């Protein structure tokens, strides 16, 4: 379950605005002018999401290598190729 706090409450109450939430509120959504804008996560959950993201990037790189979707050569060649994409 996600909690919700307004940017104005956060501005006036600081981190005390989060005191109303319990351990069941795994993330807190911060709204700005009525629109969901940011999410605050426990650090352990954030770190796990980053791990998933990095694992997915590694798998994608391995797939690209297996499929021959990579280039070798000088850094200058690579920079020219990247800037012209």
Lowest average pLDDT, out of 16-25, 43-52, 69-78, goes to 16-25
Q: How many domains does the chain have?
A: 2
pLDDT at 72: 86
26 with 13, same domain?
Answer: yes
52 with 73, same domain?
Answer: yes
Question: What range defines the domain where residue 19 resides?
Answer: 2-40
- Residue 84 in this model has a pLDDT that exceeds 90: no
pLDDT at 63: 98
Q: Check if the beta carbon of residue 57 is closer than 8 Å to that of residue 75.
A: no
Confidence category of residue 6, pLDDT binned at 50, 70, 90 = very high
61 with 32, same domain?
Answer: no
57 with 33, same domain?
Answer: no
Kindly report the pTM of this predicted structure. Answer: 0.67
Sheet holding 27-32, edge to edge: 2-6, 27-32, 35-40
pLDDT at 59: 98
């Amino acid at each position: 379950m996600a909690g919700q706090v307004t940017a104005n409450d956060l501005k006036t109450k600081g981190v005390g605005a989060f005191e109303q939430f319990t351990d069941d509120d795994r993330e807190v959504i911060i709204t700005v002018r009525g629109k969901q804008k940011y999410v605050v996560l426990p650090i352990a959950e954030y770190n796990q999401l980053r791990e998933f993201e990095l694992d997915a990037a590694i798998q994608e790189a391995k797939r690209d290598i297996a499929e021959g979707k990579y280039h070798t050569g000088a850094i200058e060649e690579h920079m020219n190729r990247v800037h012209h994409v």
